[in-house]
């Protein structure tokens, strides 16, 4: 068993193993020689997990380990693991408790080199359907970019139960939500800014009441562009306990019928003075109701669009 480091070209020969000293990046294409393994060390915070996508030219052994398990594996080649499978492809989300984990790709099956394409992402727990700007073509993962002005999401609710024994402060034990979330890219003469847009169905499952709610968060950096003087809509700008500004508005509550089909919509446009964002839903008659039309004043705006970008992360 050998540990592969794609950043070094030399190999130190030891009595039992050949080691390289650095781990892999979070996305890449590598060659795994026979009896070599590669690993990624990743830290997971509370309420998060790890998304793993990989394609290999031949079956390999994939494992997720704790530090103690990885130490045992690194020393002896044998160890227990949190998860283990032998396959040539995988696309799976692993919810994990907070801590450090080792993601291991082991070419212990084939006697030939294996080409491995992989992508690792740590993200919060329930995300649902997501577009990371990544596509697979003939076993190769490649990024892509989409720029659009509108999105729509549909959900059919037949039965919904929720109960949190220890909810965060100010949150009901019976609270649940269905969210349509996107990133708005705003390009100005001075640079680019990113805003996190949320169109939400907030539901209380103890009495099946619900309402529509929108949020706008600053994703650009610590210096917020959101204030009640720069953001105009039906809602207001608030400040979280850790100092982050966000805009929020909610409609009145109604009774949620079951089964129920709901549509959430976000539409965007812009002028040189800033961005316009409309949050809406379709009613039972199929008519679109725009319940909040928000203008964000950003001088010298050149363009604005909903962005899916597999090449880059937002500043936050």
Nearest to 69 by CA among 87, 59, 83, 53: 83
Within 8 A by CB and 6+ apart from 37, the residues are: 1, 2, 3, 4, 104, 105, 106, 107, 108
Give pLDDT tens digits along the chain (316 positions). 555 543 332 222 222 233 332 344 566 788 999 999 999 998 888 778 888 888 899 999 999 999 999 999 989 888 899 999 999 998 888 888 889 999 999 999 999 999 998 888 887 766 567 777 888 777 777 888 999 999 999 998 888 888 877 777 788 889 999 999 999 999 999 999 999 999 999 999 999 999 999 999 987 765 557 899 999 999 999 987 777 789 999 999 999 988 888 999 999 999 999 999 999 999 877 899 999 999 999 999 999 999 998 887 665 5
Nearest to 181 by CA among 227, 146, 131, 147: 131
Within 8 A by CB and 6+ apart from 123, the residues are: 48, 49, 51, 93, 130
* pLDDT for residue 4: 53
Nearest to 68 by CA among 97, 95, 100, 94: 100
Domains of the chain: 2-143 (2.60.120.680), 146-309 (no CATH)
Torsion of CA 8, 14, 16, 20, to 10 degrees: -20
* pLDDT for residue 170: 80
Per-residue DSSP letter, 76: H
Q: How far apart are the first and last CA of the chain?
A: 39
What is d(CA 15, CA 26) in angstroms, rounded to the nearest whole number?
30
* pLDDT for residue 311: 80
What is d(CA 80, CA 211) in angstroms, rounded to the nearest whole number?
47
Q: Which two tokens stand for residue 265?
A: 């919509």
* pLDDT for residue 244: 79
* pLDDT for residue 15: 24
The SS3 assignment for 70 reads: helix
Quote the pTM value. 0.67
Q: What is the total residue count of the chain?
A: 316
* pLDDT for residue 19: 31
């Amino acid at each position: 068993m050998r540990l592969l480091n794609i950043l070094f070209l030399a190999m130190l020969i030891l009595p039992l193993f050949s080691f390289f000293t650095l781990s892999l990046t979070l996305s890449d294409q590598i060659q795994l020689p026979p009896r070599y393994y590669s690993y990624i060390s990743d830290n997971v915070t509370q309420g998060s997990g790890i998304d793993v996508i990989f394609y290999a030219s031949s079956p390999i052994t994939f494992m997720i380990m704790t530090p103690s398990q990885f130490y045992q594996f690194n020393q002896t080649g044998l160890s227990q693991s949190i998860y283990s499978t032998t396959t040539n492809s995988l696309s799976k989300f692993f919810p994990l408790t907070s801590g450090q984990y080792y993601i291991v790709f082991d070419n212990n099956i084939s006697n030939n080199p294996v080409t491995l394409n992989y992508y690792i992402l740590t993200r919060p727990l329930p995300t649902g359907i997501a577009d990371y700007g990544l596509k697979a073509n003939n076993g190769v993962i490649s990024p892509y970019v989409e720029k659009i002005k509108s999105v729509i999401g549909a959900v059919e609710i037949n039965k919904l139960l929720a109960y949190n024994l220890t909810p965060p402060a100010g949150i009901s034990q019976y609270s649940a939500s269905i969210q349509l979330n996107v990133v708005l890219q705003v390009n100005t003469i001075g640079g680019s800014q990113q805003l996190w847009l949320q169109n939400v169905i907030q539901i209380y499952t103890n009495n099946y009441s619900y309402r529509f709610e929108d949020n706008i968060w600053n994703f650009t950096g610590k210096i917020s562009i959101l204030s009640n003087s720069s953001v105009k809509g039906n809602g207001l700008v608030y400040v979280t306990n850790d100092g982050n500004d966000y805009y929020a508005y909610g409609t009145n509550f109604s009774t949620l019928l079951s089964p129920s089909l709901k549509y959430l919509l976000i539409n965007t446009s812009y002028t040189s003075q800033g961005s316009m964002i409309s949050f809406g839903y379709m009613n039972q008659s199929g008519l679109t109701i725009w319940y909040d039309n928000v203008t964000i004043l950003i001088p010298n705006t050149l363009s604005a669009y909903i962005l899916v970008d597999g090449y880059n992360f937002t500043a936050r």
